[in-house]
């Protein structure tokens, strides 16, 4: 399903339908996250990825008002680059642990401690919440800093222009 | 061979999606569509991380009586952060696109190049 949506996005020429397909793509990936046991990630993706991103894209489309994508003549070089990169990546997965393997290295470092101890230490049944807000609180603080920086950047990009336009008039 | 496919197919799916995103970013000249391609690329990385956190027979990492095996909560935390950051970067990118459109009256790379050549 995800692959079909992605291919449809490649083929589409109308930007509006591309944006709507992008929202559908986010929603499908959110259901995939539920299947993979990541419920917190799923509802963040559904709310933020499918909701806010789509609204942002639509408002940008509304401002620019350009609906059609121009066709490009030479597809060969991009296809070649993509195929070579993909082949290299698939070759590199042969060393990766099997899907769902409980003995994979990722599950044997700090994760067991979070799973066994976080209920007693933090007192929140949801481990994702306790890791996010307590063990990794500084990371979340950094995330807030990143979002704040992005907000300032957006305001500078959109706001300064408005100021210069007022100067001209 | 069948075992290899069964073990690695989750990685292959995310690589396929990643390549679809990369293709859009390289091949399409419309800047909005490039950003959508970038989003697809990012989502494929999310899927890669989340699929690495999955354990056979595990449930969502919420403590509840009767469940012993949980999926790894650490990738979930990382990706929660990454999703929010990805939206922030998308917003910055869209602001840039809006500014480019104000300057050139176009959001297509080829058209912008032509306009720049004419101006020189």
Q: What is the pLDDT of residues B24-56, one digit of tens each?
A: 888 888 888 888 888 888 888 888 888 887 777
**Domain limits of chain B?**
2-119
Residues A46-91 have pLDDT tens digits of 888 888 888 888 888 888 876 666 666 677 888 888 888 888 888 8
pLDDT average, residue stretch A111-131: 74
Provide the Cα torsion B82, B88, B94, B99; round to 10°. Answer: -140
Beta strands in A52-121 (DSSP E): none
Interface ipTM: 0.82
Q: pTM value?
A: 0.82
Residues 57-76, chain A: which have Cβ within 8 Å of B? 57, 59-61, 63-64, 66, 69-70, 72, 75
**Residues 125 through 144 of chain A touching chain B, CB cutoff 8 Å:** 125-128, 131-132, 136, 139-140, 143
Residues 6+ apart with CB under 8 A from A40: A126, A128, A129, B76, B80
| Candidates B40, B79, B89; nearest CB to A41 | B79
Q: Is A1 on the interface with B (CB under 8 A)?
A: no
Could you give the CA distance from residue A62 to residue A57 in angstroms, rounded to a whole number?
A: 9
Q: Could you please state the CATH topology (level 3) that the domain comprising B2-119 is classified under.
A: Helix Hairpins (1.10.287)
pLDDT > 70? residue A163:
no
Q: Which residues in chain B touch residue A45, judged by CB atoms under 8 angstroms apart?
A: 43, 46, 83
Q: Domain limits of chain A?
A: 1-70, 126-169
User: Which residues of chain B neighbour A117 with C-beta distances below 8 Å?
Assistant: none
Return phi, psi of residue B115, to 5°.
-60, -40
- CB contacts of A111 in chain B (<8 Å) are 72-74
Return the half-sphere exposure (C-beta side, CA atoms, 13 A cut-off) of residue B44: 23
Interface mutation target, options B25, B71, B97, B112, chain A, most CBs of A under 10 Å: B71
What are B91's two structure tokens? 């917003």
Give A100's strand partners.
B55
């Amino acid at each position: 399903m995800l692959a079909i949506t992605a291919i449809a996005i490649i083929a589409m020429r109308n930007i509006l339908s591309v944006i709507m397909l992008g929202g559908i793509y986010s929603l499908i990936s959110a259901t995939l996250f539920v299947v993979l046991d990541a419920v917190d990630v799923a509802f963040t993706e559904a709310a933020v990825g499918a909701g806010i991103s789509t609204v942002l894209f639509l408002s940008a489309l509304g401002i620019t008002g350009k609906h059609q994508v121009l066709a490009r003549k030479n597809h060969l070089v991009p296809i070649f680059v993509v195929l070579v990169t993909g082949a290299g990546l698939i070759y590199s997965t042969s060393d990766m642990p099997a899907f769902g393997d409980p003995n994979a290295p990722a599950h044997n470092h700090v994760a067991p401690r979070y799973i066994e101890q976080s209920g007693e230490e933090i007192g929140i049944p949801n481990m994702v919440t306790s890791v996010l807000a307590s063990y990794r609180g500084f990371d979340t603080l950094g995330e807030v800093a990143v979002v704040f920086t992005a907000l300032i950047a957006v305001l500078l990009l959109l706001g300064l222009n408005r100021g210069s336009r007022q100067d001209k008039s | 061979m069948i075992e290899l496919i069964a073990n690695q197919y989750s990685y292959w799916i995310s690589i396929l999606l990643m390549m679809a995103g990369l293709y859009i970013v390289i091949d399409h000249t419309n800047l909005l569509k490039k950003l959508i391609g970038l989003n697809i690329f990012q989502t494929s990385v999310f899927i890669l991380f989340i699929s690495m956190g999955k354990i056979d027979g595990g449930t969502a990492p919420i403590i509840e009586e009767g469940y012993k095996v949980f999926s790894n909560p650490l990738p979930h935390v990382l990706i929660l952060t990454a999703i929010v950051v990805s939206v922030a970067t998308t917003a910055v990118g869209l602001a840039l696109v809006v500014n480019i459109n104000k300057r050139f009256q176009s959001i297509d790379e080829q058209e912008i190049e032509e306009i720049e050549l004419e101006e020189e």
